[in-house]
Amino acid sequence: MARIRAAERRAELVAAAVRVIAAHGVDGATTRRIAEEASAPLATLHYCFATKEVLFAAVFEYLAGEYRDVLNRSDVHSDVQNTARGLLRGVLEWYLENPDFGATILELISWGQREGEQAEVVYASAFATMRTILEGTTTAAGRPVSSDMIDQLIYVVSALSDGFALNWLVFTDIAAARVQMELTVGVLDAWMAANLGGAAPSTQPVEITTEPDMRSLVSWVHVD
């Protein structure tokens, strides 16, 4: 049997850690459970990562890289409104398609805040990537966008995606989430219309196969 290279084994262990943290939380993500998920000897995990904290740091870096890749793939190379809309929609789709990533990010953010500054890794990476994509863009009307306005736009996109992700992780209702995705993009459109001028309407239609009720649209609010 061919020997697995150290870099490949490390990647497998990091991917296994993402799944275990998503399923069992940080406290339940023991090194033994992670090694079993990766079909690797426990000794191999300890050889690749001296401590669980070192492993979790690698998971932070991995998730930050995934987030970065999603943002870069979602860059539509257009005016600031369409570009921001593309970034938000790309992240929301990513959360829907990869619930383990969202759950793991949420767990690790809480853990990282207790352990030090590692929780900033994912956000700092995402903010820097969005800033690189959005800087130099103009509005749909051709007006330049100030650096301060770019920072505000990045915060709005991040806050909207975080809220969507949390609701999706709690309720896991794909039909409701699809409707909520369009509501979330609509909120961004409204903010951009108020702060950047008339934003071009979204080019992707809302597809609703059933009549949504208030519970499905706003599932974080109790409705009698």
**Amino acid letter for position 107:** E
pLDDT in tens, the chain (224 residues): 345 688 899 999 999 999 999 999 999 999 999 999 999 999 999 999 999 989 998 998 999 899 999 999 999 999 999 999 999 999 999 999 998 888 898 888 888 777 766 667 788 889 999 999 999 999 999 999 999 999 999 999 999 999 999 999 999 999 999 999 999 999 999 999 999 985 445 544 444 444 444 344 444 333 33
Residue at 10 is within a domain: no
Residue 45, domain member (yes or no): no
CA distance 98 to 134: 25
Residue 148: inside a domain, yes or no? Answer: yes
Residue 17 lies in a domain: no
Task: Output the CA torsion 134→135→136→140 (10° steps).
Answer: 40
Looking at residue 200, what DSSP letter applies? Answer: P
In a domain, 136, yes or no: yes
In a domain, 185, yes or no: yes
Residues written for the chain = 224
Decide: 197 and 140 in contact? Cβ < 8 Å. Answer: yes
Tokens describing residue 91: 């992240």
- Identify whether the C-beta of residue 44 lies closer than 8 Å to the C-beta of residue 9: yes
Range of the domain at 75: 53-201
CATH number for 179: 1.10.357
Q: How many domains does the chain have?
A: 1
- pTM, two decimal places: 0.82
Within a domain: 48: no
Say if 111 falls within a structural domain.
yes
Tell me: the pLDDT tens digits for 150-200?
999 999 999 999 999 999 999 999 999 999 999 999 999 999 999 998 544
